Amino acid sequence: MLSTKIVAMVASVASLAAFAGVGTYTATSANAASTVTSTASATSSGTRDSYTDTVGNATFEAARQKYGLAKDMKDGATLHAFEWSFKTIEENIPDIAKAGYTSIQTEPIVKIKDNRKLGTGNWYLNWYYIYQPTDMAIGNYVVGSEAEFKSMCKKAHEYGLRVIVDSVSNHFTSDFDVIADKWRNKNYFHEDKQISDYNNREDCTQHKLTGLWDLNTQDDTVTQGMADLLKQTVADGADGFRYDAAKHIELPDEVFGKQSNYWNTILKNGAQYQYGEVLEDANVREADYANLFWNSSVAGGGITDSSYGHEVRNGVQHGNLSASHFTQHNKVSEDKTVNWVESHDNFANGEANIPQELSDEWIKYGWAGVTAQKNGMSLFFDRPYKDGGTYGTGGKGTYGNGSGPFTENSKLGDAGSDLWKDPEVVAVNHFRNSMIGENSNVSNCGDDLCLMVERYAGSSAQDGVVVANANGSAKNLAGTSTKLANGTYTDEVTGSTITVSGGTITSGSVNAKAIAAFSNKTRSEKISTAEAYPNKGTIPGTSKKITLRAYQATNTTYTTSDGQSGSYSDGDVIKIGANAKKGDVLKVTVKGTGADGQAITHTYSYAKQGDPTYDPSDGTQSPCDKYCVTYMQKNGYNPDTYIDSEETDYEGGSGVDATGVSISGDGVSNGKVSRDISSGDTSLTLKATVTPSDASQRVTWSSSDDSVAAVSSEGKVSLKKAGTVTITATTSNGKTATVTITVTGEAPKATNVVYAAKPSNWSKIYAYVYVDGSTNNAKWPGVEMTAISGTDTCGQSGYYYDVPDNLASNAKVIFNDGGSQQVPGANQAGISYNGGTVRWSGSGTTIESVTCQTLDVPVSSVAVSGSGVSNGKLSLEKGKSAQLSATVNPSNATNRTVTWSSSNASVASVTGTGYVSAVKAGTATVTASAGGKSASVRVTVTDPSSSQRFSDVPSSAWYASSVDWAASNGVVSGYGDGRFGPADSVSRAQMAGLLYNLAVKEGDAKAVSYKTPKSSSFSDVPVSAWYAKQVSWAAAYGVVSGYGNGRFGPADMVSRGQAAAMLRNFARYRGVSGSSASASFSDVPSGAWYASSVSWVVSNGVASGYGNGKFGPSDVASRAQAVAMLQKLDKLTASPASSSSLSISGDGVSDGKLSLARGGTVQLSAVNVPSGAPTVTWWSDDDAVAVTGTGLVIGVKAGSGVVHVQAGGQSAVLTVTVK
């Protein structure tokens, strides 16, 4: 349960509470036995695809493999760089890769509440503000700027590492007044009500988490804002996300007043790994959240397994390594979990006094037990430097006021404890990376102070074991039972060995209070560092403290540019800048010798600022340094401030003059940007970068023509009309930069518009709009209204005026000619106006609300007809032709121009007049389009020539007609040398291709529209392979499956038993159940996995036995046999609808179609469900449409999609258009 702490602190606790193809999340409702399916589709065009950009990039892969890091992020270990800055992370990236971490997890990177405790950068009362966003923009004072984030990600990728960003997507800060202007709107947040019952899903997800403003996750603006932020983060280089307080955001099937599309929108961001902080409780739906994140990721995602971590800490805190503490995955499968010994919340909020009692030694034992196993991603929380049980910090009972166990031996942004690179921790990481995919066994070696984690695959080259020995003496492992193969295994840490024979360790031991990682895959990286912290900043006071750090390094020395030098030990503190003058740049250089003999050198720079001076003109200090004492009215100290003249480097102003400024932003290139505003894209954001980076000057923005484009104080540009404008950024000391914006097109109509007909005796017409006499649109006579052509019913009025938003409520309007004529008359109040679109007729003192309707008549439908066309199909012989015609409805539609196209002109070509020519055997779709509507005809071209089109297929052969059928229908082709190869074997890739071609021949919509994925689901199926699309389709729809070990075996030959199973699966896919009669063969045991499939193909006439009572299930299928079976199968599956009475009904459903407004819902029903059908399954094939497991269809966004229902082997579809 949530502990009651100060509001800010609970922000960090948060809750206790794409790519190729379309993924789905399936959830089982807590109060219904229904299946909920919601799409989580591929990322939109232009979004960075993290998986392709990393694992699909040869340079990245070379680096990843060099350091032996996991291919899939879920299989690796992640370093949680708690409160590290981007600069700090970047400096440590080479060592992080050496240490075997697959990923790095950062803190939240967006703008946050600024409470830097007078700029000291201390942890006390400050650490948790990183979890209090104020804006959806990247960069904050703890982690650094967006530019630094990009640089850090780039460096990480160079070393084969990936980056996970902590996303606070549930809430903003508790201080409403500091929220950015754009978001300071209470419509963007749920009601101002605290959660009272964390086990009530509506209360838990729709109300405030202990004071924090809860984002309105049903609001489209909030949803799109968060989606844009996450996409930008991925574009900048992120590869994954942790979602803070995820259980406080409703699941897609939870409707509390209004449908939420939040998760289904924001998760489509291009990241490859995503997981949610879902702290367990009585009614959390952990498995559903796990599925949501798993299906929104590539190769795995999931949720935090908080109860597992609690059980681990329950063991190590009390000095017990019983295996039972390390195997308690209760709520979700272990591969969908994120596991830790402790999290930042456990540590900083003092769970059960663990931070004080849990030492580095026992953290390492816990890490060994968690990470050596085969489970989900492991997360190593890096405590702040010299904080926690080993250092005796954080006395009991000190929590509840935000203090935490902090000793202030480091600052926010510094690297934390060195434990993450301890040789034993590193060895466990390397062990995990080398054992991916292997079995796992956790046991104790003699007592509860010795833990073993074995990984095994059947050979000494692959197997290994991690042993954590907490005993005060060495542990002799001889006689210990093991699952390891016979052989000798070496410990990466010490080089000692164990020997295994016959399932027993026969010799070897582990040192006292030590961890050993025995395998034959050890790595030799040694990590040594010499550093100084803070590693950036200024010297705004009299001097600055620098902490010198060293780890596994010798001969460590330092020098400073102000004359100091000497040797140092880890943790020594020096002061610099006491005698420096304003503008001086002081440098600190540290050196050392690494454990493997390499030289280490780092240099850090700090700029000296001026001392504070008093300016009586404004009562402030200059420079803007925040370390002055603040007084209250009664001459007392502000209780939340204090004096610190030495440590003020985390404040906002620096006193350093700007030497230059540059502008970047949306689409800016070489100082120019162009934007067409016709689509409604009427804004862009510019960013000014001042050099040097620590300059204190503010930037102001200006526009050369506000009527074309205006710019806000934050660089947000509002594009108004076509033209060219210059935007200028100016620093307070006069440095400037410009960008030229060319605006084209016409912006969509405003939402608050007044239309008017000009009285015949007026030469001009003005609109004077005011509110209570104090606010108006312009001085009298107001703004001249703009003439407009009659392109719609509103435009026929003749004139219009776009009313500013601040005048669209409780306002008055007076129409006048700019002279003496006005309506209402002189000294009379104006006509009441409360926003929206209204019209004044040119007389009278009333205005009426109107809906502007286009005068164009849209096309409602297109139909194709022609000689030989029946049920949307046309058959032609090679060389023949047919004239098609298109009928556009209604007859008075504005755009009646018809365009013709063919999906495969090499099979059937079509002219601009609809004249179709049959070119060669195969199938093609000919489409007629007009006014955004279309209709198609499926054209099948056959070759009437002799079946001896192939030199090795005599016309008398039993399979000749089948070969001719398959070739004529584009199901199969020959070798190119005139042969067919009827006796040749069929590979698994070829069989997938044949079945895919058959589906296309039968006009199956899912096959016809299927796209080749950007990444393959099988390790042995490259996306560039000719069969990649066919294999992916077959696997996606259960027609042909892989081997279960990540391989498909494309070159493996297909047996007759396997072919039977594939053919039956295809029939199921096409919604055909067929006969279930049994068939008996002497070589088909009743318990064989393929027995039922053999019976099915035989009883349905798809295949037959040899005539001697045998079927030959192990015999390799030939090409002739394959096409013969496919021809017979086609007779069953070509028109599956004829064998299915299942259909879909619901309000508005007509002729298999339904129109929905965006956000609208309709309850659908499956009609004529076969009796005895165990389940009714619903799904959608496009993210414009979502459907729940009960058939509730939801219009997500403009577009169209097909809703499917399947029951008892039958299926039906409904085309849904969202407007």
Long-range contacts of 1203-1206 (CB under 8 A, 24+ apart): 1203/1144, 1203/1164, 1203/1178, 1203/1179, 1204/1178, 1204/1179, 1204/1180, 1205/1142, 1205/1144, 1205/1164, 1205/1166, 1205/1176, 1205/1177, 1205/1178, 1206/1071, 1206/1142, 1206/1176, 1206/1177
Rounded Cα distance, 393 and 355, in Å: 8
Rounded Cα distance, 940 and 876, in Å: 6
What does the DSSP 8-state code read for residue 924?
E
| DSSP three-state, residue 368 | helix
CA atoms within 13 Å, Cβ hemisphere of 741? 35
Non-local CB neighbours of 430 within 8 Å, separated by 6+ positions: 68, 100, 492, 517, 521, 522, 523, 525
Residue 286 appears among annotated catalytic residues: no
Residue 244 appears among annotated catalytic residues: yes
Rounded Cα distance, 301 and 273, in Å: 5
- Determine the length of the chain: 1219
Helix then strand then coil, % of the chain, to nearest 5: 20, 30, 50
Which residue out of 90, 95, 107, 244 is catalytically annotated?
Answer: 244
User: Are 83 and 408 in contact, with CB atoms under 8 Å apart?
Assistant: no
Rounded Cα distance, 1067 and 1129, in Å: 8
- 162 exposure class (CB count in 10 Å sphere: 0-12, 13-18, 19+): buried
User: Are 907 and 938 in contact, with CB atoms under 8 Å apart?
Assistant: no
Beta bridge partners of 601: 591
Dihedral angle, C-alpha 750, 755, 761, 767, nearest 10 ° = -50
Rounded Cα distance, 1213 and 1202, in Å: 6
Which residue out of 277, 625, 694, 1002 is catalytically annotated?
Answer: 277
Alpha carbon 83 to chain centroid, angstroms: 23
What does the DSSP 8-state code read for residue 262?
H
CA atoms within 13 Å, Cβ hemisphere of 1101? 7
DSSP 546-591: EEEEEES-EEEEEEETTS-EEE--TT-EEEE-TT--TT-EEEEEEE
| DSSP three-state, residue 177 | helix
Rounded Cα distance, 1210 and 1139, in Å: 8
Pairing verdict, β 273-276 and 660-665: unpaired
Q: What are phi and psi of 590, to 5 degrees?
A: -115, 145
Rounded Cα distance, 799 and 758, in Å: 7
Other Cβ atoms closer than 10 A to 409: 18
| DSSP three-state, residue 690 | strand
> HEC string of 1013-1075?
CCCCCCCCCCCCCCCHHHHHHHHHCCCCCCCCCCCCCCCCECEHHHHHHHHHHHHHHCCCCCC
Rounded Cα distance, 1030 and 1007, in Å: 9
Rounded Cα distance, 646 and 946, in Å: 95
Q: Which residue is associated with the tokens 């600052």?
A: 411
- Which residue type occupies 1016? S
Q: Of 1212, 1187, 1174, whose CA–CA distance to 36 is shortest? A: 1187
Q: Which helix (H) or strand (E) holds 116?
A: none
Catalytic residue IDs: 244, 277
